Amino acid sequence: MPAYQDLTPSNQSYEEVSQWNGKKLKEMSWYLPAVVSQSLRGSSPAECLKCTCGIECTLGSLEFHMYARYESHKYPTMSYLDDALCHFHTFKDVFLLGRASKKAKAQANALRTELMKTRNVDKETNTETSTPSKKWCQMNAWRDYISHGIDVP
Protein backbone atom coordinates (compact mmCIF):
# COMPACT_ATOMS: atom_id res chain seq x y z
CA MET A 1 0.00 0.00 0.00
CA PRO A 2 1.45 3.40 -0.88
CA ALA A 3 2.36 5.78 1.91
CA TYR A 4 -0.10 8.51 2.85
CA GLN A 5 0.18 11.36 5.30
CA ASP A 6 -1.01 10.41 8.81
CA LEU A 7 -1.48 6.78 7.78
CA THR A 8 1.13 4.35 8.96
CA PRO A 9 0.98 0.83 7.54
CA SER A 10 0.08 -1.74 10.15
CA ASN A 11 2.64 -4.38 11.02
CA GLN A 12 -0.15 -6.85 11.83
CA SER A 13 -2.64 -8.46 9.51
CA TYR A 14 -6.37 -8.13 10.21
CA GLU A 15 -6.54 -11.61 11.75
CA GLU A 16 -3.62 -10.94 14.10
CA VAL A 17 -5.29 -7.99 15.86
CA SER A 18 -6.73 -9.30 19.11
CA GLN A 19 -8.05 -6.00 20.45
CA TRP A 20 -9.07 -2.97 18.42
CA ASN A 21 -8.04 0.22 20.15
CA GLY A 22 -8.91 3.72 18.95
CA LYS A 23 -5.93 4.24 16.66
CA LYS A 24 -6.18 0.82 14.98
CA LEU A 25 -9.93 1.21 14.50
CA LYS A 26 -9.47 4.67 12.99
CA GLU A 27 -6.79 3.39 10.60
CA MET A 28 -8.99 0.46 9.61
CA SER A 29 -11.79 2.88 8.81
CA TRP A 30 -9.42 4.57 6.35
CA TYR A 31 -8.40 1.30 4.71
CA LEU A 32 -11.77 -0.43 4.58
CA PRO A 33 -13.53 1.67 1.90
CA ALA A 34 -10.53 1.35 -0.42
CA VAL A 35 -10.26 -2.40 0.12
CA VAL A 36 -13.98 -2.95 -0.37
CA SER A 37 -14.11 -0.78 -3.50
CA GLN A 38 -11.15 -2.63 -5.04
CA SER A 39 -12.50 -6.08 -4.17
CA LEU A 40 -16.02 -5.31 -5.43
CA ARG A 41 -15.08 -3.86 -8.79
CA GLY A 42 -17.39 -5.05 -11.54
CA SER A 43 -17.05 -5.03 -15.28
CA SER A 44 -20.67 -5.00 -16.41
CA PRO A 45 -23.17 -2.25 -15.53
CA ALA A 46 -25.27 -4.72 -13.49
CA GLU A 47 -22.22 -5.75 -11.45
CA CYS A 48 -21.21 -2.11 -11.06
CA LEU A 49 -24.57 -1.36 -9.42
CA LYS A 50 -24.10 -4.25 -6.98
CA CYS A 51 -20.59 -3.03 -6.17
CA THR A 52 -21.83 0.48 -5.52
CA CYS A 53 -24.48 -0.89 -3.15
CA GLY A 54 -21.83 -2.94 -1.32
CA ILE A 55 -19.61 0.09 -0.91
CA GLU A 56 -22.52 2.22 0.32
CA CYS A 57 -23.46 -0.47 2.85
CA THR A 58 -19.88 -0.58 4.13
CA LEU A 59 -19.73 3.20 4.42
CA GLY A 60 -23.02 3.24 6.35
CA SER A 61 -21.66 0.67 8.79
CA LEU A 62 -18.40 2.59 9.24
CA GLU A 63 -20.24 5.85 9.78
CA PHE A 64 -22.47 4.23 12.41
CA HIS A 65 -19.51 2.80 14.29
CA MET A 66 -17.61 6.06 14.21
CA TYR A 67 -20.60 7.98 15.64
CA ALA A 68 -21.18 5.25 18.22
CA ARG A 69 -17.67 5.83 19.58
CA TYR A 70 -18.61 9.32 20.81
CA GLU A 71 -18.40 9.63 24.59
CA SER A 72 -21.79 11.32 24.89
CA HIS A 73 -24.75 11.72 22.57
CA LYS A 74 -27.29 14.45 22.11
CA TYR A 75 -30.18 14.72 19.69
CA PRO A 76 -28.07 15.61 16.61
CA THR A 77 -25.62 12.74 17.09
CA MET A 78 -28.48 10.32 17.74
CA SER A 79 -30.08 11.39 14.47
CA TYR A 80 -26.71 10.88 12.71
CA LEU A 81 -26.57 7.37 14.20
CA ASP A 82 -30.10 6.68 13.00
CA ASP A 83 -29.33 7.98 9.50
CA ALA A 84 -26.17 5.86 9.25
CA LEU A 85 -28.03 2.76 10.43
CA CYS A 86 -30.84 3.38 7.91
CA HIS A 87 -28.20 3.83 5.19
CA PHE A 88 -26.66 0.48 6.15
CA HIS A 89 -30.03 -1.33 6.16
CA THR A 90 -30.96 0.17 2.79
CA PHE A 91 -28.02 -1.48 1.03
CA LYS A 92 -27.30 -4.61 3.11
CA ASP A 93 -29.35 -6.96 0.91
CA VAL A 94 -26.68 -6.80 -1.79
CA PHE A 95 -24.52 -9.14 0.31
CA LEU A 96 -27.20 -11.83 0.31
CA LEU A 97 -26.62 -12.29 -3.43
CA GLY A 98 -23.13 -13.67 -2.84
CA ARG A 99 -24.08 -16.04 -0.04
CA ALA A 100 -23.11 -19.63 -0.74
CA SER A 101 -25.70 -22.37 -0.51
CA LYS A 102 -25.24 -25.49 1.64
CA LYS A 103 -24.53 -27.52 -1.51
CA ALA A 104 -21.84 -25.07 -2.65
CA LYS A 105 -20.23 -25.08 0.81
CA ALA A 106 -20.20 -28.90 0.88
CA GLN A 107 -18.63 -29.04 -2.59
CA ALA A 108 -16.00 -26.48 -1.62
CA ASN A 109 -15.14 -28.36 1.59
CA ALA A 110 -14.84 -31.66 -0.27
CA LEU A 111 -12.60 -30.07 -2.89
CA ARG A 112 -10.45 -28.45 -0.20
CA THR A 113 -10.00 -31.78 1.59
CA GLU A 114 -9.03 -33.48 -1.66
CA LEU A 115 -6.57 -30.73 -2.55
CA MET A 116 -4.98 -30.79 0.91
CA LYS A 117 -4.44 -34.57 0.66
CA THR A 118 -2.89 -34.19 -2.79
CA ARG A 119 -0.65 -31.37 -1.64
CA ASN A 120 0.52 -33.33 1.43
CA VAL A 121 1.41 -36.31 -0.76
CA ASP A 122 3.34 -33.99 -3.09
CA LYS A 123 5.26 -32.54 -0.13
CA GLU A 124 6.19 -36.00 1.15
CA THR A 125 7.47 -37.17 -2.23
CA ASN A 126 9.36 -33.94 -2.97
CA THR A 127 12.05 -33.86 -0.26
CA GLU A 128 14.53 -31.59 -2.04
CA THR A 129 15.03 -28.10 -0.71
CA SER A 130 12.89 -25.53 -2.43
CA THR A 131 14.16 -22.15 -3.49
CA PRO A 132 11.85 -19.13 -3.32
CA SER A 133 11.32 -19.26 -7.09
CA LYS A 134 10.33 -22.95 -6.90
CA LYS A 135 7.91 -22.17 -4.08
CA TRP A 136 6.46 -19.33 -6.17
CA CYS A 137 5.99 -21.65 -9.15
CA GLN A 138 4.35 -24.30 -6.92
CA MET A 139 2.00 -21.70 -5.43
CA ASN A 140 0.98 -20.50 -8.90
CA ALA A 141 0.46 -24.08 -10.05
CA TRP A 142 -1.80 -24.75 -7.05
CA ARG A 143 -3.78 -21.57 -7.71
CA ASP A 144 -4.36 -22.65 -11.31
CA TYR A 145 -5.33 -26.15 -10.20
CA ILE A 146 -7.77 -24.83 -7.62
CA SER A 147 -9.33 -22.26 -9.96
CA HIS A 148 -9.91 -24.93 -12.63
CA GLY A 149 -11.12 -27.46 -10.07
CA ILE A 150 -13.81 -25.30 -8.55
CA ASP A 151 -16.99 -25.65 -10.53
CA VAL A 152 -19.54 -24.23 -8.10
CA PRO A 153 -22.31 -22.07 -9.59
pLDDT digits (tens, 9 = 90+) for 55-86: 888 889 888 988 888 889 999 999 999 999 99
Q: With a threshold of 0.95, does the pTM exceed it?
A: no
Whole-angstrom Cα distance, residue 1 to residue 132? Answer: 23
Task: Say what the pLDDT of residue 134 is.
Answer: 74
Whether pLDDT at 112 is above 90: no
Task: Say what the pLDDT of residue 44 is.
Answer: 72
Which of 95 and 15 is assigned the larger pLDDT?
Answer: 95
pLDDT digits (tens, 9 = 90+) for 82-105: 999 999 999 888 888 777 778 877
Q: What is the mean pLDDT of residues 139-145?
A: 72
Three-state SS across the chain? CCCECCECCCCCCHHHCCCCCHHHHHHHHHHHHHHHHHHCCCCCHHHHHHHHHHHHHHHHHHHHHHHHCCCCCCHHHHHHHHHHHHHHHHHHHHHHHHCCCHHHHHHHHHHHHHHHHHHHHHHHHCCCCCCHHHHHHHHHHHHHHHHHHCCCC
Which segment, 39-48, 92-101, 144-153, is predicted with the most confidence on average? 92-101
Domain ranges in the chain are: 14-98, 102-149
Which of 10 and 19 is assigned the larger pLDDT?
Answer: 19
Integer angstrom CA distances of residue 62 from 17, 71, 100, 142: 18, 17, 25, 36
Q: Which long-range contacts (CB under 8 A, 24 or more apart) does 70-75 make?
A: none
Contact 59, 24 (CB under 8 A): no
Whether pLDDT at 152 is above 60: no
Task: Say what the pLDDT of residue 90 is.
Answer: 93
Which of 20 and 75 is assigned the larger pLDDT?
Answer: 75
Lowest-pLDDT choice from 32-36, 46-50, 65-69, 145-149: 145-149
Q: What is the mean pLDDT of residues 46-52?
A: 78
